[in-house]
Structure 1
Amino acid sequence: MTIVDKNYGWKSAPQDPEVVYIAIPVLEPYRDYIEKALVSVVRSHGLKPVVVENVSMYDLKGRIVITDFPVIGRSDWMLSKERYVSGILYYSYAGDAKSAVETIENGLVFSEGEISNSANKLCQTSKERLLSMRIVNQSCAVAYWWNMKAKVGMLSGGDPYKLIANEIASQLDQFLRSA
């Protein structure tokens, strides 16, 4: 627990740390799978998941989770199917949606050589904003994947979308454990 000294102008965020606002601007069918997996992880931590379209409206009101997977693809063969994604998972304990949305909209670079820099830029921008606002908890985490693939045999009955969603959710689970 952080002790906030009002005499120095420092304040706490978010307003309600028990609520996690989740934005998933990802194409179908990925969206449904990712949403289900993230909501399940949030609930497993005793928190309230709220899936939203416009996460900017919830800036500093609750924890924030944003996924951005601008690169998706598929390959189907006679005996197997493969799906792949490239993108990020952003988590802010303080609920800094504004910095993340602005950084994403201003053009993160999603390429093999630049995705790491894009992920770092998200947290750096958030920390700078929260520091300028004198917000004590500046916890931010970003996971990123370049060409994460899930391949299943046609006869196995496996689902590559579910495998990808579970990997993304496992990263959120780690972020929530460390917050």
Structure 2
Amino acid sequence: MSPMKRIFLVLGIAVLMVLSIVGIAVASESYVISDYRGASMSGGTTIVDHSYNWTSAPKDPHIVYISVWAPNPYKTYIENALVRVVREHGLTPVITDDVMEHDMKGRLVLVYVPMTGESNDVLYKEISLSGILYYSHAGDAKSAVDTINHGLEFSESAISKSAEKFCQASMNRLMELRIANQTCGVAYWWNLRAKVGKLSKGNPYEMIANEMASELDNFLKSD
């Protein structure tokens, strides 16, 4: 073999080794990241004059109704993660598909996910979603459902304002009904994605669900 061929052979082997190392690294990594996200909490217990007939809600604050409006398998994983967080706070989680049936009967967590995505590569799998998590201590389901049904602009530039509409609508309704506790939390994610290498043991659906559940955990700690 000529010296030139030996050089090319050595270079070829070196390139293959580098590519193999890079491939193994990519296939072993896993992470969760989003292009845009935010969370806020408003309301709190209002100090009121009882002569104005203010009342309290929900009927049973130890129950937390959970409704996830998302396609499977996202729905199942998000529900499981939210249930775990609720139980960690000593509360009773109840999964429901009909939130209006439980309006103000217990606290409410509603997750609205109108956009999802998925891509598979030789080395990794990536899933994504864009959505909003709404938490109401009073269990105000009607305001949340009305907000969704009236149409929300869903884009990276508009998602924060769309998310704010949930608590704005709830506080307006609770003021009209003279409900004292108007605590409301909302979190939103634009292109929240989990990337898991084929050599990693991570579950991308579980990773995204845990990311969303962490915001509920913050709301419950602050409530």
- Superposition pairs for residues 71-82 of structure 1, below 5 Å? 71-82=115-126
- Determine the structure 1 residue equivalent to 2:176: 132
- Determine the structure 2 residue equivalent to 1:155: 199
Question: Residue 90 in 1 paired to residue 158 in 2?
Answer: no
**Which deviates the most, 102-111 or 77-86?**
102-111
| Structure with larger Rg | 2
1:102 to 146, 151, 172: 146
CA contact (8 A) 1:4 1:12 kept: no
- Determine the structure 2 residue equivalent to 1:23: 67
- Superposition pairs for residues 27-66 of structure 1, below 5 Å? 27-66=71-110
Pairwise CA distance, 1:5: 4.8
Question: Residue 167 in 1 paired to residue 208 in 2?
Answer: no
Where does structure 1 lack aligned partners over 5 or more consecutive residues? none
Where does structure 2 lack aligned partners over 5 or more consecutive residues? 1-44
State the secondary structure of the residue aligned to 2:154. coil
Question: Residue 178 in 1 paired to residue 222 in 2?
Answer: yes
State the secondary structure of the residue aligned to 1:16. coil
Amino acid at match of 2:169: T
Moved over 3 A (4+): 1-6
Question: Structure 1: how far apart are the matches of 2:84 and 2:124?
Answer: 28
**What's the Cα RMSD here?**
1.2
Larger relative helix fraction: 2
Pairwise CA distance, 1:7: 2.1
Pairwise CA distance, 1:157: 1.9
Residues 116-137 of structure 1: per-residue CA shift (max 9 Å, x gap): 0101111001000000111111
Q: In percent, how many aligned pairs have the same letter?
A: 59
Pairwise CA distance, 1:2: 6.7
Give the structure, 1 or 2, with the largest relative contact order (CA under 8 Å, sep 6 or more).
Answer: 2
Pairwise CA distance, 1:25: 1.6
TM-score scaled by structure 2? 0.78
CA contact (8 A) 2:147 2:166 kept: yes
CA contact (8 A) 2:74 2:209 kept: yes
The count of aligned residue pairs is: 179
1:11/1:34 CA distance change after superposition, 3 Å = same
Question: Structure 2: how far apart are the matches of 1:174 and 1:140?
Answer: 12
